[in-house]
Chain A
Amino acid sequence: MSVVNYDEDVLIKEQGFDDHFHDHHHGDKYQSNFITTYIFSQDHKIIGKQFLITGMIWAIIGAGMSIIFRLQLGFPDDSLTWIKPLLGKWITVNETTGIGTLAPEFYYALVTMHGTILVFFVLTAGLSGTFSNLLIPLQIGARDMASPLLNMLSYWFFFIAGVVMFCSLFLSTGPFAGGWTAYPPLSALPQASDGSGAGMTMWVASLVLFVVSVLLGGVNYITTVLNLRTKGMTMWRMPLTIWAFLITAILGLLSFPVLVSALLLVMCDRGLGTSFFLSEIFVGGEALNHVGGSPVLYQHLFWFLGHPEVYIIILPAMGLTSEVLSVHARKPIFGYKAMVFSILAIAFLSFIVWAHHMFMSGVNPFISNFFVIFTLIIAVPSAVKVFNWIATLYGGNIRFVSAMLFAMGFVSLFISGGLTGIFLGNAAIDIQMHDTYFVVAHFHIVMGIAAFFGMFAGIYHWFPKMYGRFMNETLGRIHFWGTMIGAYAIFWPMHYLGMAGVPRRYYRFDNFETFSHFSQMNQFITIAAIIVFFLQILFVVNFFVSIWKGKRVTTKNPWGATTLEWTTPIDAGHGNWPGNIPAVHRWAYDYGKDGVEFIPQIVPLTDEEKENEADLH
């Protein structure tokens, strides 16, 4: 075949199907004023933006906290008096020297809140919440989510969860300070520490609200993907983003309820005097009445959520990366089906490996063997994905735009962070490595920074769809290179700290002979962290300025992508397509096929054209 000639609007009109959308929309009474359009909106695109912006606010708060405790770790003797206006009583100023020190309890509160906020509010809600909402209806060809009302509630439950958590920061006893995993007894005994009282209660309340949000969203995403796909959009024609969001939603649906179980039992231990997670405890020299429970039981329940949660964070980033890599390499994704099956395999394995977080908590070593084996098997589907991404890049006509740079950065980070996971997954090596900076480095690279890179790739790539404008490309590249180098500068040295045995969650190290010679390395990490933090501020500025001042998008499909979201009008209204819903005739990755640069999914196959391999099932 030679050149494909098509006009998208004509195609949608002729090939698409009429769902009588306009018969019901004589003036959209659901978007009649500012409040229903932008605040209590039921449009998935607006809800996606709400998730994104709320997530960005939380990211700044969470990252800001990390800067404060990094200052403490890098420069333990320097004065923090300048930050007293913000932290108030948590900075004690020595009256003679004028040196302000961070209260140790608040250091723990900061670490705890940093973890909680980043894991749940930013990388779960901010990432999968944003892009599932934005992309699922657009890429499968639906007017909106299955239940827009529940979708809206999903955001507002997240918002309230955030408000509760935010309020807990201002408690006189401080927010919860027992680590984001909230292990008992610190979480189960209100008198265990300052933050274990009201702080923990609010932490639990916030997380339960958050789980409600995840479930409302997840049930919606799954149902939408399964039941609302447009004509011709078979499962094997879905872009990998949609596969990733679908599996992510399933993971959330199955794992978050178990967290609720654990938290409700913790609340009983706190309030009713039960002993699910407590046994033979002394506080202040006095024996408590709690007998017969096990703190390890909580850890099991927590990590039954906690490990799938890691994939809830990383799978959407993988999906976004796959899509962005393919579009900007102008090549079909390599091994589409292998990608899908590896997502499924990872999702399955994520439910049977949880105790590898607990090798040193007193888990029976016999059962640990199985957890080691299952854990190491995850390397296989992960490696398949990495191989396919690299193979997608190979020989591609790569456009080095910001989105593409971040997607490639994701692959880099996923490799280097993933490899250290193989170390930690071995129970024997974990004896040395557990609870050291090696662990911190591992999970920050593989699911923290990598997930952020996937998110940035998504934001730069779909910004034109969200706001009808481009983000500033120069600032984007500065953002990428600074963050890429900076992220490695922060976390690479941490591997060495960890291998030397430097424990995580310590307030300061200079009292330890063994660790004191790492002080310069800690300073280096802190400085790198501050630079990276300000680069993210640069990104936020770029984001908001571009919303109003960015270069306008002039064509519907600025990146030359094949998926359905680029067939909607630039400023798509509620319902996404003004007339018919487009019908789909091919998979999402027809790039460079038969000499044509790209063929959108809505273009019918010509007579002599063969479907791609993924369609032949």
Chain B
Amino acid sequence: MADLSYEDSKKLVFKGMALLAVVTLIEVAIALVGKGYVIEGFHLPVWLMYISMIGLSLYKAYFIVYEFMHMKYEVKGLAMSVLLPTGLLVWAVIAFFNEGNSWNQRRTLIKEKNAETIDDTRKSTGSIIDLKDVKNLN
């Protein structure tokens, strides 16, 4: 905070508080309006809601780290040494969520297959697996 006077930085803090509060309110508003709690029959597309809420949360995180935790005033090397490693999580998020989704698909597939009645009239193709099923397995 070396480059700001005491009064300025004090003001900045309360501005920051207002900012975080407003962003949080917007997030909640998106959740409520988007799901039709406020205006009857009005819905936002789910992807738009998710993207805007994730974006706003990331902005909040950025603000907390950069202003409240003073990252803005640290040397760039320090900031990068702390922030860059979190990038390693990006691939983890993609891979884990993809996995979760695939467990879901497989469970559904197994459930469907268990409920299926076997069609005896179908001619044997000589193959163990029906090629139609292979597509679903992903």
Contacts and interface: CB of A to CB of B under 8 A. Distances in A.
- Do A and B share a direct contact in the complex (Cβ within 8 angstroms)? yes
A300 B88 contact: no
Contact of B91 (A226, A254, A351): A351
A339 B15 CA distance: 48
A366 B138 CA distance: 7
Interface stretch (B6-14, B26-34, B95-103): B95-103
Interface string B78-98: 000100010010011001101
Given A226-B81, A250-B85, A254-B85, A364 B91 contact: no
Contacts of A304: 92
A370 B96 CA distance: 13
A219 interface: no
Contacts of B88: 254, 348, 351-352
B85 A367 contact: no
A603 interface: no
Contacts of B91: 351-352
B99 A300 contact: yes
Interface string A367-380: 10011000000000
A601 B34 CA distance: 65
B85 A364 contact: no
B98 A367 contact: yes
Nearest to B96: A300
A296 B103 CA distance: 9
Contacts of A294: 103
B138 A363 contact: no
A409 B42 CA distance: 71
Interface string A152-189: 00000000000000000000000000000000000000
A363 B85 contact: no
A252 to B, nearest CB: 12
Q: What interface size band does chain B fall in?
A: 10 to 19
A74 B114 CA distance: 46
Interface string B94-118: 0110111011000000000000000
Contacts of A363: 99
A220 B125 CA distance: 65
Interface residues on chain A, size class? 10 to 19
B92 A296 contact: no
A295 to B, nearest CB: 11
B102 A364 contact: yes
Contacts of A411: none
A470 B88 CA distance: 44
Nearest to B138: A366
Nearest to A374: B91
A355 interface: yes
Nearest to A250: B85
A364 B95 CA distance: 10
Nearest to A280: B107
A352 B93 CA distance: 11
Interface in A274-309: 294, 296-297, 300, 304
A294 B92 CA distance: 17
Interface string A481-516: 000000000000000000000000000000000000
Interface string B55-84: 000000000000000000000000001000
Given A226-B81, A254-B85, A364 B92 contact: no
Contacts of B100: 297
Nearest to B86: A254
A300 B95 contact: yes
Interface in A448-477: none
B87 to A, nearest CB: 9
B81 A367 contact: no
Given A254-B88, A352-B91, A364 B96 contact: no
A364 B81 contact: no
Interface string A329-369: 00000000000000000001001100100000001101100
A174 B86 CA distance: 40
A355 B138 contact: no
A371 B94 CA distance: 12
26 contacts: A226-B81, A254-B85, A254-B88, A294-B103, A297-B96, A297-B99, A297-B100, A300-B95, A300-B96, A300-B99, A351-B88, A351-B92, A352-B88, A352-B92, A355-B95, A363-B99, A364-B99, A364-B102, A364-B138, A366-B102, A366-B138, A367-B98, A367-B99, A367-B102, A370-B95, A371-B95
Given A352-B88, A364-B99, A367-B98, 10 more contacts: A254-B88, A297-B99, A300-B95, A300-B96, A351-B88, A364-B98, A364-B102, A366-B98, A366-B138, A367-B102
Interface of A: 226, 250, 254, 294, 296-297, 300, 304, 348, 351-352, 355, 363-364, 366-367, 370-371
Q: Which 8 A-B pairs have the closest CB atoms?
A: A364-B102, A351-B88, A352-B91, A367-B98, A254-B85, A294-B103, A367-B95, A364-B99
